[in-house]
Amino acid sequence: MIEDNHEMLTELDREIGDADHGANMRRGFKAVLEKLPTVEDKDIATILKTVGMTLLSKVGGAAGPLYSTLFMKLGTTIGAKSEMELNDWTQGLEAGISGIAALGKALPNDKTMLDALYPALNALKAASENGATAGEALQKSADAAHEGMLATIPLVARKGRASYLGERSANHQDPGATSTYYLLKTAAETWADR
């Protein structure tokens, strides 16, 4: 998903950032794909923490620590299991979001990746509470992330490089919210039938 969309992510970042988000995410997830075979027989925590550490070392700018935090918190919360339930994912995602918010000192509507993550988590919880299957809940989560991503367009950035532009950051889609949506969309598609 990142490979297919890295140029668009870079173009979004060119408008309100430093035009490297797509390249950074591509480099980071390419390294992740190379690293995953070395941990495929490990528990979920080890796999997710390996993803996090790889992203930290390969993704430049603020995105590296932020995405690393997401995966590290997911791994720590889910723990040394070989199988994951929807509740595990939900709790892990919530911990990841809390970690990102603390690290970036960001809030909803700051025009960041959190604007995709918070609605995704809320939709995931609501779907789960209403008896949705894991696949349905993950799809609702991805759909809400998409809506959150689009909702960043009119916002004026209050965090990150885009905040330096002030009012000029409005009318541009946030690249971090976009790549976050792609990750949640991929999770929903990958685990739809599991």
Provide, rounded to the nearest whole percent, the portion of the chain with pLDDT above 90: 95
pLDDT band at 25; cut points 50, 70, 90: very high
Q: So where are the chain's domains?
A: 2-190
pLDDT of residue 69: 98
pLDDT of residue 60: 85
Distance (Å, whole) CA 23 – CA 44: 27
pLDDT band at 24; cut points 50, 70, 90: very high
pLDDT of residue 192: 86
Work out the number of other CB atoms within 10 angstroms of the CB of residue 7.
12
pLDDT of residue 193: 77
Residue 59: which region, alpha, beta or left (left: phi > 0; alpha: psi -120 to 50)?
Answer: beta
Nearest to 122 by CA among 149, 87, 90, 146: 90
pLDDT, tens digit, for every residue of 56-83?
A: 999 988 899 999 999 999 999 999 999 9
**pTM of the prediction?**
0.96
C-alpha to C-alpha distances, 88 to 69, 108, 157, nearest whole angstrom: 17, 23, 32
C-alpha to C-alpha distances, 34 to 29, 134, 138, 178, 188, nearest whole angstrom: 9, 28, 26, 23, 22
15-22 long-range CB contacts below 8 Å, 24 or more apart? 15/172, 16/157, 16/161, 16/162, 16/165, 16/168, 16/169, 16/172, 16/174, 16/175, 17/160, 17/161, 17/162, 17/175, 18/61, 18/161, 20/60, 20/61, 21/61, 21/63, 21/175, 21/176, 21/179, 22/175
Pick the CATH number of 2-190 from 1.25.40.340, 1.10.3210.10, 3.40.50.300, 3.40.47.10: 1.25.40.340
